[in-house]
Amino acid sequence: MTQRLSHLVSRSIPYIHCIKTVHFYRLLHSKLFILNSLQNWHTFSKTIIKSQKKFVVDKKIEKKFWTTGRILTLTGIVAILALASAAYLSTAGKPRLNVQAERITTAEVKRGIFKETIPVNGVVLPITTIYLDVLEGGRVEEKYVEDGAILAEKAPILRLSNTDLELDLVNRETAVYDLITNMQNTRNLAEQNTIRLQNQLAEVDNALAEAKRLYDLNKGLYEEKVIAEQEYRASKNMYDYQVRRKDLTERQLKADAATFTQQIQQMQQSIQRTQVGLQIMRKKSDDLTVRAPVAGQLTSLNAEYGQRIPSGTRIGQIDVLSGFKVQADIDEHYISRIFNGLDAEFIFNNKTYQLRVKKIYSQVTNGRFQVDLEFVGAVPQGIRRGQTLQVRISLSAETTALLLPRGGFYQQTGGNWIFKVDESGNKAYRTDIQLGRQSPDHYEVLGGLQDGDKVVTSSYENYGAMQELVIRE
């Protein structure tokens, strides 16, 4: 058995740097020592017993329970147990690991100014973007400019052709001309009818005057008994007839005038509506020439000669060059902490520039939402549309706090514990800590560490469940 155990120990020597193997190696030696001690003690006990047997005489001796052999055996067992306990206690302890100083990163915990910020990626965009949508579909007949051109307001971009729209425009123009002609004809007929009625009224007035003269004359003669009653009544009937005739003629003339006026108004309204439709058709025809709605730079133009573009298709956009903004995507975890007016900053050409949150898009897509940031103060020279910037958005004001530099340890510990280096600098012990807010460079320490403490901030990926690190040069 001793040889087999020695053989196992010799095979375990290459793994002496493994903590569990070191413990196993020590325990094996402890067991070997215990076995050897038991064998030696057993041999010693047999020798003592044999020596005692040499001095036995032919005399009856009372048998005792606590014989010398038993006492020695019990003493040996107690001693061996004590030695085993001491060996176990000398080998047992916290799991530890030897590490090279150049393979780890240490940092000092210090008290300083802390500002909670979050890093986000921002994209430079024009302060205003106007999209170009084709209002009337058609075939591309001519392109006046290319993508990237700087345009003035109302500058033509391309021209489309649409035969259906052009034919409809001609038909509407013809309809307007027909309505105008019909109204003119109606006006002429009404004027002719008015003249005819006026002539008729003149004749009626003349006949009425003659009937009145004859009636007045016959009335006086009838009163003087010069003429017969029949002649008098005949003249009176003729007078009454001419009065009624004039009244009817005047009423007809007024009715015809009102009807004519109404017809003319209706026709004018119809012409006006048709002309409005004609203007709309002309505008639609003008929309076949796509123009820049504002002054700016044409980007993303998507149109080629002969291409058929349906109505409502977006063919490009106009970027207003009066300024820029930065649009950033932020994790939805911070949606309740982002509001208009928050300060932000970024570094461009080794110089820091300021931003401010201007607009928040509350819609969350794939776990992220967007914000627009405007420049505060100077805008960097040479900045371009589509450029990516590393932006830091401040979530709090500056405060004094205990600061722990960021490092790879956080991925394995979650900020719940860290290896703290002792005063000698040769060992680091696992220490429970409590972290609060964080910035791109530091964590805020709430407990477990003090100002001036030195800790290991590099990755703990290979440390497993170690409780202690032995730092070797």
- In angstroms, the Cα distances linking 441 to 2, 158, 410, 425 are 59, 52, 13, 24
Can you give the three-state secondary structure of the chain, one letter per residue? Answer: CHHHHHHHHHHHHHHCCCHHHHHHHHHHHHHHHHHHHHHHHHHHHHHHHHHHHHCCCCCCCCCCCCCHHHHHHHHHHHHHHHHHHHHHHHHCCCCEEEEEHHHCCEEECEEEEECCEEEEEEEEEEEEEEEEECCCCEEEEEECCCCCCEECCCCEEEEEECHHHHHHHHHHHHHHHHHHHHHHHHHHHHHHHHHHHHHHHHHHHHHHHHHHHHHHHHHHHHHCCCCCHHHHHHHHHHHHHHHHHHHHHHHHHHHHHHHHHHHHHHHHHHHHHHHHHHHHHHHHHHCCEEECCCCEEEECCCCCCCCEECCCCEEEEEEEEEEEEEEEEEEHHHCCCCCCCCEEEEEECCEEEEEEEEEEEEEEECCEEEEEEEEECCCCCCCCCCCEEEEEEECCCCEEEEEEECCCHHHHHCCCEEEEECCCCCEEEEEECEEEEECCCEEEEEECCCCCCEEECCCCCCCCCCCEEEEEC
Name which of 322, 306, 311 is nearest 287 in CA terms: 311
Is residue 270 predicted with pLDDT exceeding 60? yes
Predicted pLDDT at 121: 92
Residue 56 to residue 223: CA distance in whole angstroms? 207
Phi, psi torsion values for 404, nearest 5 degrees: -120, 120
Is the pLDDT confidence value at 356 over 90? Answer: yes
- The domain spans of the chain are 2-93, 100-113+399-472, 118-155+311-394, 163-286
Q: For residue 104, is pLDDT > 70?
A: yes
How is residue 308 written in tokens? 């058929």
Domain 118-155+311-394, what architecture? Beta Barrel (2.40)
Q: Residue 325: what are its φ and ψ, rounded to 5°?
A: -140, 170
pLDDT tens for 302-332 read: 888 889 999 889 999 998 888 889 999 999 9
Q: CB under 8 Å to 400, separation ≥6 — which residues?
A: 111, 112, 113, 114
What average pLDDT is seen over the chain? 81
Tell me how far apart the alpha carbons of residues 380 and 393 are, in angstroms, rounded to a whole number: 18
Residues in the chain: 473
pLDDT range class, residue 16, cuts 50, 70, 90: very low
Q: Are 117 and 394 in contact (CB under 8 A)?
A: yes
The proportion of the chain whose per-residue pLDDT surpasses 90, expressed as a percent, equals: 21
List the CATH code of the domain at 100-113+399-472. Answer: 2.40.420.20
CA 105/CA 469 separation, integer angstroms = 13
pLDDT of 66 above 90: no
Q: Residue 438 has what pLDDT?
A: 82
pLDDT of residue 418: 92
Q: How far apart are CA 415 and CA 445, in angstroms?
A: 10
Q: Count of alpha carbons within 13 Å of 298, Cβ hemisphere only?
A: 28
Report field, pTM of the whole predicted structure over 0.75: no
What's the rounded mean pLDDT across residues 248-268? 85
Amino acid identity, position 357: V
The predicted pLDDT at position 431 comes to: 92
pLDDT tens for each residue of 443-470: 899 998 989 899 999 988 888 788 888 8
pLDDT of residue 461: 85
pLDDT reading at 355 higher than 90: yes
* Lowest mean pLDDT, pick from 89-103, 120-134, 201-215: 89-103
Residue 90 clears pLDDT 50, i.e. is over it: no
pLDDT of residue 227: 85
**Domains 100-113+399-472 and 118-155+311-394 agree in fold:** no
Torsion of CA 238, 241, 243, 247, to 10 degrees: -160
Residue 339 tokens, joined: 């509001």
- Residues 386-405 have a mean pLDDT of 88
Q: How confident is the model at residue 34 (pLDDT cuts 50, 70, 90)?
A: low
> What φ, ψ does residue 464 adopt, rounded to 5°?
55, -130
